Structure 1
């Protein structure tokens, strides 16, 4: 959910104001608090009937919470209520959590936008992978979708278009195309928090980086894609096979050559070419649960190699043979690489 937009677009295409969305979130938190009086419940009913946008917003709320109920009799959203005893507002952070839960996966203004690194949206996503896992999905149009570690996407396919919303992580998209293969007339987009990537009959990878970095990486292995940042759609750029780039909501970096490492993960490999040890371990940490740290004294050491991702413990165990370091294992989930 963009930070500075006044509108949201519901999955059915109806545009509502942010004020309406926030009001729906407030009603949910009040009703789930168990503190709503009969008069407040009456006011809630009147609010729904007062405008078509109110009812549309509430239908979305019921859709989201209905899906969450499948996780058990005490769904987690009940703990996010922004109302304490007596209906008094609780912390702004808790109220914000409910809003993100309900609206974080919606676009602002012109289409659907993936939320960024949101635990609940990832858990509820149509396709998802666990930490250290890679999963392949065959979509209804013949598109092949490969999810890297800790990734999640939502699918929005209809009669006129196909949209893949990258909630978090990294994916490879391979469209069904080639001699003798009938072209699907519906456009195909991948959407991230920064913008959209339109497939032009191709194979490409997309990585949504964590919130504090605010950028998306794209690399094209076959054919081409067109990238359009949400904040600067007029700056759309075509990226061709063998190229990669990074873009934010407002700009696209100058494309460069896509290195082997950009798609190495699709072959189950992690490539390093004179890479800083600190950067290498940060990347390796994506593929294993727990905490993986590096002592600043050795973070700038460089290494090269091809490492199989199927066994991250083995990768760590090999480091002392190529660098002057040792690996401290407090537990399997708390590992630090320090000077030898």
Structure 2
């Protein structure tokens, strides 16, 4: 991030980076969940000490869209639910950077809360890169979050809504598990539309411009965001993709759509570049492929628990070599390429 000395808030007000840093520090304190009366008085005094201080804090409130209604402990919970398995301080610092610096250091003036990346960072539930996380909800629904997924829960009196912000999930309803079903409809919302469960087990993957759905049991009803009357019933064993306005014709669900739920990556005469793009979802860093070997095809079932091992097996099945500059920079090259 450039070492700018000032920032321009969306309101047009220019504040110093020192003020921005101080506001971030106060947010970290409030997110700690262990704030006494003295700290709250000091926080109030800091806000009242200078108009820039208050402007910086108002920006944080505008970004979160709900800070005014939250006390310190709920604010901490809302902003760190995504930080499971990480040092809390690192998670909080990332959140505050996104809150305070998102779109400002570059002069874009775009509230970070409007970006998909920000929403994913503060989601109710997240899975890290390479992690698969199981959740059991109060209504009996069971969720499996695939790598790099983010999800919000919006359960109300008349509807249960799961908002998938990024990644991929498998939903197994209480009805599918043979237990008492909740009478409220269960809906998964994505950027392109919604999937209503009809007592079922299904997977949903959020792509950049489309959503992919595969039904493993029973059925779901798909509805696009923008297409008037664009709905489709998807039955068990079927799979489809949809955009904001159109839904593709159903096709038979392929085994690849389900393999991840068993901790596997399945390739069936798959291009190497496509295979590595999928494998890259499960590991951090750069994973590149030389264009000379990108079109090679491979088949196999690979356990996702060790992506390094998957890479190490490639030279035994394809005329390639794997060059590892570091754990985070790997390139797949032709076997005869010079070292």
- TM bucket by the smaller chain? 0.7 to 0.9
Q: How far, CA to CA, are the matches of 1:337 and 1:187 in structure 2?
A: 47
C-alpha distance 192-32 of structure 1, shift in aligned 2 (>3 A): farther
Is the 8 Å Cα contact of residues 95 and 121 (structure 2) preserved in structure 1? no
Alpha carbons 2:290, 2:332 under 8 Å: kept: yes
| Residues 322, 333 of structure 2: 8 Å contact kept | yes
1:127 positional shift: 1.1
In 2, the alpha carbon distance for the partners of 1:336 and 1:285 equals 12
- TM-score by length of structure 2 reads 0.73
Contact 2:164 2:190 in 1 (8 A): yes
Question: Match for residue 144 of structure 2?
Answer: 146
Q: Which of 310, 316, 328 is the aligned partner of 2:323?
A: 328
1:102 aligns with 2:85: no
The count of corresponding residues between Structure 1 and Structure 2 is 279
Superposition map of 1:174-323 within 5 A: 174-177=172-175, 181-209=179-207, 211=208, 214-323=209-318
User: In structure 1, what is the Cα distance between the partners aligned to 2:145 and 2:176?
Assistant: 23
1: CA distance, partners of 2:65 / 2:16:
16
For structure 2, the 5+ residue unaligned runs are: 1-8, 21-46, 56-60, 81-87
Structure 1 gaps of 5+ residues are 1-24, 45-54, 83-89, 105-115
1:60 aligns to 2:82 (yes or no)? no
Distance of 1:271 and 1:142 partners within structure 2: 30
Aligned equivalents of 2:103, 2:256: Cα separation in 1: 44
- Whether the 8 Å contact between 1:32 and 1:78 is mirrored in structure 2 is no
Q: Measured at CA, do residues 28 and 167 of structure 1 come closer, stay the same or move farther in structure 2, by a change above 3 Å?
A: farther
Distance 1:283 1:124 in 2: 25
Aligned match of 1:123: 121
C-alpha displacement of 1:79: 2.5
- Superposed displacement of residue 80, structure 1: 3.7
Cα distance 1:27–1:161, how it changes in 2: closer, same or farther (>3 A)?
farther
Task: Tell me, in whole angstroms, the C-alpha distance in 2 between the residues paired with 1:196 and 1:73.
Answer: 30
- Give the RMSD, CA atoms, in angstroms: 3.3
* Aligned residues of 2:176 and 2:200 also touching (Cα < 8 A): no
Q: Per-residue deviation at 1:185?
A: 1.1
Decide whether aligned partners of structure 1 residues 174 and 281 sit closer, same or farther in structure 2, where only a CA change above 3 A counts.
Answer: same
- Equivalent pair of 1:30/1:81 in contact (CA under 8 Å): no
TM-score (norm 1): 0.73
CA distance in 2, matches of 1:102, 1:179: 36
- For residue 205 of structure 1, give the secondary structure of its aligned residue in structure 2: strand
For residue 79 of structure 1, what is the aligned residue in structure 2?
A: 101
Compute the displacement of 1:28 (Å).
Answer: 10
